[in-house]
Amino acid sequence: MSTSKADPSRPAVRRPDFSATRVLVVGAGGLGCPAALALVDAGVGHVALADDDRVELTNLHRQLLYTEADVGRDKLDVALEALGRRTAPGQTLAAVRTRLLPENARRLVKDYDLVLEGADNFATKFLAADACRLERRPLVHGAAVRLRATVWSVAPEGGPCYRCLFEDVPEADAALTCAEAGVLGPVVGLAGALMADLGLDVLAGTPRFGTLFSYDGLRDRFRSVPVPARPSCPLCGPSATISEIDELCYTAVHCRDDGPTIRGV
C-alpha cells in the first residue's frame, strides 16, 4: 500500500465551483453525450439537454450514454437516467424535448449561462450561433466527421463568431453528414470532452475564445489556430445586419452580408 503524502510545498489546486451555473447542451448524440457527462461530473448545477430523437442501433458506437437495450427509446429519457446516477445533491437535470428551431432558439438559449452545440447539421449550428449572439450568451461549437474533429468557443459578443469562419449555411449537398461520411466513435468522444473542457473554462472565467481546436485522428495530432474576426461579418461585425431570427435564413435563403439572397434548395 502506498504511504505517499501530498507535498506541502505545492499549492493545492482548488476546483472551481460550478454549482450555480446553468448549461444547455443542444443535441444528445455523439457530441452531446460525453459533453453532458463531463459537465455533470464537474459539478455544473443545472444541465439541460435538447433533442427530439430516439436511440438507434447504428449510433451506439459513438453515443456513450445508450446501450443496445435502449434502442427505440427516447434519447432524453435514457440520457437523464444515466446522468442522474452521477449527480450530486443539489444538481438538477432537464429534458428539453425539441430541437433548436427558429421559433424557440432565442427563448431557449437566454435561460442559460452557456450553450454547447453538438448538432449534426449546419442549419442548427448557424441558428445556435445567431441566437446566442443576439441573446449575448457564450457558445461552444463541436463537430466530427470521419477521423477529424473541431471544437471552439465563441464569446457572447462574437468577434470572432461562427459566421466569421463559415460565413453562411452551405447548400444541402455541399457537405457530408456523419451518416453519409461515417465517423470514428473515439474521435466524437474526444470532441465532446473538449467541448465540455472549453465550456468549463468559460464558466470558470478563463475562456479560450477565438481559437479553433482540431484533432486529426489519422495522424493523432492536435492543432490550435486563432480565428480572426471578419470585419464584414453580418452577425458580429461593426455593421452587422442580422438582428433577429428569420426562419428563411436556415432553409430556403441564405443570410448574406447585404441581406437575404434567395437560392435554390
Domains and CATH numbers, the chain: 22-232 (3.40.50.720)
What is the mean predicted confidence (pLDDT) over 19-26? 98
Question: Mutual orientation of helices 185-204 and 32-41 as an angle, nearest 10°?
Answer: 40
Q: What pLDDT does residue 144 have?
A: 93
Q: Give CA–CA dist 25/184, Å, rounded.
A: 21
Distances in Å between the alpha carbon of 80 and those of 38, 95, 96, 172, 180? 14, 7, 11, 33, 29
What is the mean predicted confidence (pLDDT) over 231-245? 95
Reported pTM:
0.87
User: How high does pLDDT run on average in the chain?
Assistant: 88
Q: How many CA atoms lie within 13 A of 151 on its CB side?
A: 26
Q: Give CA–CA dist 123/120, Å, rounded.
A: 9
Ranking 114-118, 178-182, 240-244 by mean pLDDT, the lowest is 178-182
Q: Give CA–CA dist 34/55, Å, rounded.
A: 15
Grid cell digits, residue 13: 489546486
pLDDT band per the 50, 70, 90 thresholds, residue 262: very low
Q: Give CA–CA dist 218/220, Å, rounded.
A: 6
3-state secondary structure (DSSP) of residue 31? coil
